[in-house]
A and B are shown apart, each in its own frame.
Chain A
Amino acid sequence: MRFLLSTIIWIFFLGGVSFFLQEKNQDNDNHQEKALAQDAQDAQEAQEAQKELIINLQATFEFEKDSFALEVANTDTDNTLPLTLILNGVPITTEQLAIGKSELEGNLESSKLNASIKIVAQLKSKNELFIKTVIPANAQQNHQALRVSIYNNQQLILDRSLWGRPGQTLSESFVFEGIK
């Protein structure tokens, strides 16, 4: 009788452990399936988001060559331009700009009011754009501003203004969501 009771308890115990392990494996499989599905969805979204990003800069001051720029050969950023742009940790070089370098320089030099920069970039759901420029020391007014408007797929997704004084550096990291 004692042997029978012991056997029954063992059967229940081993059955319980077996059931628990089976359930756990099934959960893992479900998680993996979900993660794979999510990755595929993200990849599809990223593919869809790889469209034109337009950064409109409106400044109350002239863009000028920076006297305090780092000008050494073979650096990641193009220091000949009075503007630094880094999208999601990657410096935006003139090769990545949809418009050529000379046209960009022309925009920056000829018009203090508007420079439109088009970039074809693969956006994520959350993105970060770092922008830096310098207000020339000889700017006339005491306070100057730079308005930054970002359009993704022709939709305005960010509109901010930075304020500073002549001689100061304007720099900011903007976080924005990509349009699906």
Chain B
Amino acid sequence: MLLPQFAYSTDAEPTKLKIAASTTQIADFAKKIGGDDIVVFSVLGPGADPHTYQPTPGDMKKVSQSDICFENGLHLEGKDWMRTLCTDAKKPVITTTKGVQPLLIESEGHKISDPHAWFSPVNVAKYVNNITQALIEIRPSLKSNFSARAKLFLEELRVLDQWLKELFAQIPPDKRVLITSHDAFNYFCNTYKFNAKYNYLSVAPVGWSTGAEVGAGMTPARRQQVISSIKQFGVKAIFVETSVNPKLVRSIAKDAGVKIGGVLYSDSMGEAGSAGESYLGMMTENALTIVNALK
């Protein structure tokens, strides 16, 4: 559907708005709202890691050709690379998580706002409102188109949210334990009531970021905590993520004697042609993978 990563500068009509999005998710949201009135370029490609990404000269060129930039914010983009790219190109930057009530993670004495807000469809409604507002401000003549598409997408998000709640109700609450590669699933666990013993927060051997920020990365203590949790709660399966090297999770699965339940889309969506190439598809596939492994 969207995001051939460099389809941006090809045959775009001059009247179409050019959008640069930092992640595949944000590019998908923008495309749902902008439709054929915009051309979207995602800096990150499918499977890429936003925490450790290093922008290329090609990214700089495409950002400099855009009308507006959308970033996730909350330091998802390691060292704020998207903001730096767009500021250097003198392009306006919109933080799409504005208005989201962030989950605070305690780590090494610091409180960190979890940036993986898209794992709750209610939060995605905030992304949608921020993107729609920005598009209307930059192209007021297309207000009715942007608003109409946004309303449809918001209804799809509502249906997704209800569908997920009903689907996960099939897993007994004590079996609803989600262990993944890194702490990307806090909003997901909080919304759909996974990991009750951990205050409905994510359990992972790697912190909120795969980069070198405070509270990020893997520590031996976190690794041991995950193995203990698996044994204590009789976890049936743990999960690897598409944007994180699976090696660590595979070694934990081996040590704890538990199976790999499948691969989850997390910090970026799937390749073009896969079910996970859109946000709705990504969430659907993740949910089915989790339910089939834990039920």
The proximity string for A residues 54-80 relative to B, scoring 1 for CB distances below 8 Å and 0 otherwise, is 000000000000011111111100000
Q: Which of A67, A70, A71 contacts B122 (CB 8 A)?
A: A67
- Judge whether A72 and B136 touch: CB under 8 Å: yes
Q: Which residues of A124-180 are within 8 A (CB) of B? A: 134, 137, 167-169
Complex Cα gap A69–B126 (Å): 9
Complex Cα gap A169–B162 (Å): 11
- Judge whether B162 and A68 touch: CB under 8 Å: no
Q: Which residues of B237-279 are within 8 A (CB) of A? A: none
Stretch from B84-92, B147-155, B208-216, B222-230 contacting the other chain? B147-155
Closest B residue by C-beta to A165: B162
Closest A residue by C-beta to B128: A70
- Tell whether A71 pairs with B147 under 8 Å between CB atoms, given A167-B158, A167-B161, A167-B162: no
- Judge whether B129 and A72 touch: CB under 8 Å: yes
- Tell whether A68 pairs with B165 under 8 Å between CB atoms, given A73-B133, A75-B147: no
- How many contacts between A and B, using CB within 8 angstroms? 42
- Judge whether B154 and A68 touch: CB under 8 Å: yes
Main secondary structure, interface of A, reads: loop
Q: Give the one of A68, A69, A74 with max B CB within 10 A.
A: A68
Which residues of A are found within 8 Å of B161, using beta-carbon distances? Answer: 68, 137, 167
The proximity string for A residues 99-117 relative to B, scoring 1 for CB distances below 8 Å and 0 otherwise, is 0000000000000000000
Closest B residue by C-beta to A134: B158
Which residues of A are found within 8 Å of B133, using beta-carbon distances? Answer: 72-73
- Judge whether B157 and A137 touch: CB under 8 Å: no
Q: Which of under 10, 10 to 19, 20 to 34, or 35 or more describes the interface residues of B?
A: 10 to 19
Complex Cα gap A82–B28 (Å): 27
- Tell whether A68 pairs with B132 under 8 Å between CB atoms, given A75-B147, A167-B162, A168-B162: no
- Judge whether B147 and A137 touch: CB under 8 Å: no
- Judge whether B129 and A70 touch: CB under 8 Å: yes
Tell me, rounded to whole Å, the shortest Cβ–Cβ distance linking A70 to chain B.
Answer: 5
- Judge whether B154 and A70 touch: CB under 8 Å: yes
- Tell whether A169 pairs with B129 under 8 Å between CB atoms, given A68-B122, A70-B150: no
Q: Which residues of B91-140 are within 8 A (CB) of A? A: 121-122, 125, 128-129, 132-133, 136
Complex Cα gap A70–B150 (Å): 7
- Tell whether A169 pairs with B158 under 8 Å between CB atoms, given A68-B125, A70-B150, A72-B147: yes
Complex Cα gap A68–B162 (Å): 12
The proximity string for A residues 37-57 relative to B, scoring 1 for CB distances below 8 Å and 0 otherwise, is 000000000000000000000
Which residues of B are found within 8 Å of A137, using beta-carbon distances? Answer: 161-162, 165
Tell me, rounded to whole Å, the shortest Cβ–Cβ distance linking A85 to chain B.
Answer: 15
Complex Cα gap A69–B158 (Å): 10
- Tell whether A68 pairs with B136 under 8 Å between CB atoms, given A75-B147, A167-B162: no
Q: Which residues of B146-195 are within 8 A (CB) of A? A: 147, 150-151, 154-155, 157-158, 161-162, 165
- Judge whether A169 and B155 touch: CB under 8 Å: yes
- Judge whether B150 and A68 touch: CB under 8 Å: no
Which residues of B are found within 8 Å of A169, using beta-carbon distances? Answer: 155, 158
Which residues of A are found within 8 Å of B157, using beta-carbon distances? Answer: 68
Complex Cα gap A68–B128 (Å): 9
Complex Cα gap A168–B162 (Å): 8
- Judge whether B147 and A68 touch: CB under 8 Å: no
Q: Give the one of A67, A69, A71, A72 with max B CB within 10 A.
A: A72
Binding site for B on A (CB under 8 A): 67-75, 134, 137, 167-169
The 13 listed contacts between A and B (C-beta, < 8 Å) are A68-B121, A68-B154, A68-B157, A69-B154, A70-B147, A70-B154, A72-B129, A72-B147, A137-B161, A137-B162, A167-B158, A167-B162, A167-B165
Given pairs A70-B129, A70-B132, A70-B150, 10 additional interface contacts (CB within 8 A) = A67-B125, A68-B125, A68-B158, A68-B161, A69-B125, A70-B128, A72-B129, A73-B133, A167-B158, A167-B165
